[in-house]
Structure 1
Amino acid sequence: MRGTAWISWLRCLAVYGVVLIHTVGATATAGAQGETDLVDGWVARALDLPLLWVVPVFVMVSGALALDPARYPGAGEFLRRRVRRLVPAVVVWNLVYVVYLSLTRPGWWAGPGEAGQRVLVGEVAPHLYFLWIVLGLSLLTPLLVPWLARTGRRAWLVAAAGAYSVPVLSLWPLGPGGEPVGVTHAAWTWWLPYLGAYLTGWALRGVRVPDRLLLVLVLVVAALSVLLTWQWSNPAAPTWLQDWAGAHYYSPTVAALSVAVYLLAQALLAPGGALSVLTSDRVMVVVDPVGRATLGIFALHFLVLLVGTDTGVLGAPVAPWPVLLARFVVVAAVTTVLALLGRRVPGVRRVL
């Protein structure tokens, strides 16, 4: 347990980072458009943009586990497990959100055909595309593991850097007239921009940053977080910065931040690390079940947030920053409890 406890912690940090992003996102956007209090808008930005690492790091953690040749059960067994785990989740959670939005958003339902189209391009809920990412990467894993087993870390890092460059280059102004080349967003291609993160998770697993460099990593994380917060939707940010290193998931800035967070967590929480006390058996009895429930927390939290804001129990979507913090705590706690309880129910457990 102790050797991989940092992975459980990183899963938990990432999933609650997703919850926080969705909790404050509407206020951050309103602030950028001058439609809410200046302080509330900037606090929301500061709680949102520094967490752009959460999705890439989620994928890195998945790669660190799924691409391990020592744990790989063979193509047939691996795919059976992943299909049993992911396909029901993709179907059920898209159906849940389609039903909820159809019942609560006048005019949203335009027939099953359009609903299916929304599912395939990620317009049902803003987070469900992640399920397609993991499913796509899982289907690719049987091709990757044999190669990883017969090569070494240098080859892994080169392949990871090459794959990571695909989304980065695709949003640089390299097209005619300085336009981005573009990345296609559809259910069957969402995995492509995250292949680099998937390989990076395995390539960097076990890489222990020396203690003397940990402060440098902390400063890198802090500096990139401040930069992303400042530049997002900011007219004062230079055009070249927005074009070449924008505040979005495919930015080289976010790639560097994600790698720094991953390495920092591994160094601090690994055995002998400065925070290794947090990986004691007594602590991990609590953390590990939450880490295993992160897929359910990820899928369910947005529904809890919608219900809370639609009913007014958690306030309006755009709210003062103290309300945002309280809302985050409530959504995170309620979702975690529901996910942990649901995992005890045999049928429900398959989608949590």
Structure 2
Amino acid sequence: MIRFSCSSLTVVAAVVVVAGAAYADVDPLPSWNDGDTKSVIITFVESVTTEGSASFVDENARIATFDNDGTLWVEQPMYTQLAFAFDQVKAMADAHPEWKTTQPFQAVLEGDMKTLGEAGEKGLLEMVAATHSGMSTEEFEKTASDWLSTAKHPKFDKPYTELVYQPMIELIDYLQENDFKTFIVSGGGIEFMRPWTEEVYNIPPEQVVGSSITTEFKMVDGKPALMRTNKIDFIDDKAGKPVGINSHIGHRPIAAFGNSDGDFEMLQYTTIGADGPRLGAFVHHTDNEREFAYDRDTHFGKLDKGLDAAEENGWLLIDMKADWKTVFPE
């Protein structure tokens, strides 16, 4: 198995020569600063796509997976879908008077972030299930799309779909140009993401893997419909990510990109014990001026054990402050 790590002097020495030739004329990653991180990525792509190379990988096995929150778009001060759920609680509150005295809904309505945090994952899942159910898949898609078209991030005052990371968009484009099939594998809701990923990332809905609630087929007013229930079907996070990859994609990736411990198992599944060249990488949020700086001590996007295990496993740490010329599209 071949791994790529910026901690290896041998790899870095080879990288400088190969990568220099690779993008001397046309830089495939113009929003990335020149350095070890950029060179390792380019060298990996060159090695698996050069016919005759010992590391060559057939096109049908060139699978790359990307987490979404914190890897492709902003996830602070909270996950975007959670912000959507909060607004849905407020919009639906008149029809649910019991929410005024029921947690975690009461905390949302009162803006009590401390109590909301104490509700934990169970409380948040309960809130998402309540606000994302009782409608058809088409109705939910319209509700989510309408919200995304008007909602703005509290810090940047821009639509969330404009707060995607330009360097990662370039990376997706670069991989696709080299015949990789790119997938989103996110803890976010699969039906929350699918309506917009093709327009924003050039990743079609059938290449999106995410968490889901159960749906039921029903005839509604004489027409077939898929109705969303309030039961959680699958959580595509942590150990669930390799399961989701297997069930939706059917191939082990050769490259995986995440940013948090929620992606730890996806990087393990991609890089450890597998034949051939592999690339695992974490986006490390180190830029509080242009975005946010966080890793071990945060409620959203915690990177703790992944930070400790990166060097041992040969995983790349993409330093946002040092490695990216720009963060968001200009």
Q: TM-score range by the shorter chain?
A: under 0.3
TM-score, length basis structure 1: 0.26
Structure having the larger proportion of residues in helix? 1
TM-score, length basis structure 2: 0.27
Structure having the larger proportion of residues in strand? 2
- The higher-RCO structure (CA 8 Å, 6+ apart) is 1
